[in-house]
């Protein structure tokens, strides 16, 4: 029997958003709260924090008005799901980036009316990465409300010589490999690196960042990014690797969705501590059998390497502490 867990990396597919994605050529399955709860019960997940996945809610480049409409409809739909199942769900609200003005309006609206536990931002927004100065006002607003910001990867926005793999400026860099296989890890790393090197993280000390997939490739590249930037390029104002690790301890959490063993989790624990780890399933996209196998492997690893109280922290205590009362209900489900 798998232990009860709070799932901080779970996806919701609102009908209007799903229809828009389908019109734009994205393949998106049907989602219902009842089906998701059934999967949660099968996997002993007591509560899920829902978010919209890639490509986010600003789907058509340049059409800010439509993105604002889709974003508002999606956020209101997810809030209604949470209201109908308050003991099982919380949610991260979406923002229509790269539309900064629309995002500021949406932050204000959802904070006052829909009460999400935080916000989900995709790594790049039509080619503009988190940490770009165009988004400074948005991050300043998020910092002012002490927001929790969940970063989710999306496909890289580049041109491709093969038109079959090129839609709206978005491409699979290696056509035989969907973005989730490889490129998502590097997109996450690009976004987090830009947030760090731009000074956004240090400028926003009240903001908590939640990074998926056990930090992606960050453990492997941290020394190179900081060292090369300063020692080889002579860039000023770049944090040292020790300073970044300090920020990881102060402002970052890392979820354990996906294939984090045998290599990623031990590497990530050299940069952070177990009280900054969160469980994640990535439901409903992986098959239930895969989610179960990964959960069993994680459970086995944790039992062999950490104390029982630390396991409880990772599975639910850290999320409960991070989200406060909005996650506490799950502990008695």
Q: What's the pLDDT tens digit per position in 28-57? A: 888 999 999 999 999 999 999 999 999 999
Give residue 26's pLDDT. 85
Q: What is the CATH number of the domain that holds 255?
A: 3.20.20.140
Give residue 161's pLDDT. 52
Packing angle of the helix pair 33-42, 288-305 (nearest 10 deg):
40
Least Cα distance to 322 among 228, 233, 239, 209 occurs for 209
Mean pLDDT of the chain: 92
Number of domains in the chain: 1
pLDDT under 70: residue ranges of the chain:
158-172, 325-333
Give residue 178's pLDDT. 81
Phi-psi sector, 199: left (phi>0), alpha (psi -120 to 50), beta = left
CB of 249 within 8 A of CB of 273? yes
pTM: 0.93
Q: Residue 59: give the domain boundaries.
A: 5-332
Give residue 325's pLDDT. 58
Give residue 164's pLDDT. 52
Give residue 333's pLDDT. 30
CB of 24 within 8 A of CB of 59? yes
Give residue 27's pLDDT. 82
pLDDT, tens digit, 9 for 90 and up, residues 272-286: 999 999 999 999 999
In the DSSP assignment, the letter for residue 331 is G
Give residue 181's pLDDT. 86
């Amino acid at each position: 029997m798998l232990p009860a867990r709070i799932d901080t990396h779970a996806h919701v597919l609102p009908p209007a958003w799903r229809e828009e994605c389908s019109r734009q050529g994205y393949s998106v399955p049907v989602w219902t709260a009842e089906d998701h709860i059934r999967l949660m019960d099968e996997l002993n997940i007591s509560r899920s924090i829902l978010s919209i996945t890639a490509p986010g809610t600003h789907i058509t480049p340049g059409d800010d008005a439509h993105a604002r409409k889709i974003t508002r409809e999606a956020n209101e739909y997810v809030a209604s799901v949470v209201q109908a199942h308050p003991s099982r769900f919380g949610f991260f609200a979406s923002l229509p980036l790269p539309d900064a003005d629309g995002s500021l309006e949406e932050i204000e609206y959802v904070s006052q009316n829909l009460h999400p536990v935080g916000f989900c931002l995709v790594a790049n927004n039509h080619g503009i990465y988190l940490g770009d100065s165009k988004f400074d006002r948005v991050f300043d607003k998020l910092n002012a409300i002490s927001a929790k910001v969940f970063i989710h990867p999306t496909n890289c926005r580049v041109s491709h010589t093969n038109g079959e793999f090129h839609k709206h400026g978005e491409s699979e860099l290696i056509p035989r490999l969907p973005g989730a296989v490889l490129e998502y890890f590097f997109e996450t790393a690009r976004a987090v690196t830009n947030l760090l090197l731009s000074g956004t993280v240090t400028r926003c000390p009240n903001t908590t960042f939640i990074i998926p997939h056990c930090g992606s490739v960050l453990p492997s590249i941290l020394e190179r990014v900081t060292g090369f930037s300063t020692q080889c390029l002579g860039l000023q104002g770049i944090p040292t690797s020790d300073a970044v690790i300090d920020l990881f301890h102060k402002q970052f959490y890392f979820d354990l969705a996906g294939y984090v063993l045998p290599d990623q989790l031990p590497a990530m624990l050299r940069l952070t501590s177990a009280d900054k780890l969160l469980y994640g399933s990535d439901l409903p996209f992986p098959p239930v059998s895969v989610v179960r196998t990964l959960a069993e492997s994680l459970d086995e690893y944790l039992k062999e390497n950490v104390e029982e109280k630390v396991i409880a922290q990772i599975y639910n205590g850290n999320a409960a502490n991070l989200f406060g009362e909005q996650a506490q209900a799950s502990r008695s489900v």
